[in-house]
Amino acid sequence: MKAARKIDEKKRIAWLLEQLEATYGDATCELTHKNPFELLVATILSAQCTDKRVNMVTPVLFGRFPGPAELAVAKPREIEAIIRTTGFFRNKTKSVIGASRVIMEDFNGKVPRTMDELLTLPGVARKTANVVLGTAFGMNEGIVVDTHVRRLSNRLGLTRQDDPVKIEQELITKIPREQWTSFAHRLIWHGRRVCVAQKPRCEECPLAQHCPSAGAAS
């Protein structure tokens, strides 16, 4: 494959965004949820786990504990039995119960709608808060940096950082704010479908023309 043709960086990024929109215009969060609280819990469970696996356990979890009121008083053993297959189930159980308690005690049973408030919930860091704010509330407060966004933003030459916080800080200076949420969704879909971790399918990649990593060894 030929090397990516050099163009102005702002034009290159604009082109990448256009291609992502054209290819993944309907991209959204693939964690099944009915409300902000379910999305919050599902995102906590998704750490080091696939969305597919999380979507297999959340119907059982929410069928038995439909909201923060029920989860706040749940016995850890019962939660652990349901979410065991998502990995790190003991820590995740503590986070889910802890977050539910704070929501009940400090936020009148409602998932908070600000970054600062969300970060007070056990088990919630910027990635989870960005997922909830962007997907559940339609607020562009940051860019979700998961394993796919981390990998692809480097491959696409959008950053050379490795730390998720630093990656986000750099991305928000380059991506228009109104696209922060959609950009992350589209990049995640691209990472799952084409630019996979071990053997990226560069020959079928719509971004290859202006990707500095196109055709290079993974």
Position of tokens 């790190």? 88
Determine phi and psi for 63, rounding to 5 degrees: -65, -30
How many whole angstroms separate alpha carbon 170 and alpha carbon 162?
A: 11
The contacts of residue 171 (CB under 8 Å, 6+ apart) are 143, 145, 149, 153, 158, 159, 183
Position of tokens 């799952």? 192
Which residue type, as a one-letter code, is found at position 7?
I
Out of 8, 51, 127, 199, the active site residue is 127
Position of tokens 């730390």? 163
Position of tokens 């379910």? 38
127 is catalytic: yes
Out of 146, 163, 166, 174, the active site residue is 146
How many whole angstroms separate alpha carbon 155 and alpha carbon 216?
A: 10
How many whole angstroms separate alpha carbon 88 and alpha carbon 86?
A: 7
52 is catalytic: no
Active site residues: 127, 146
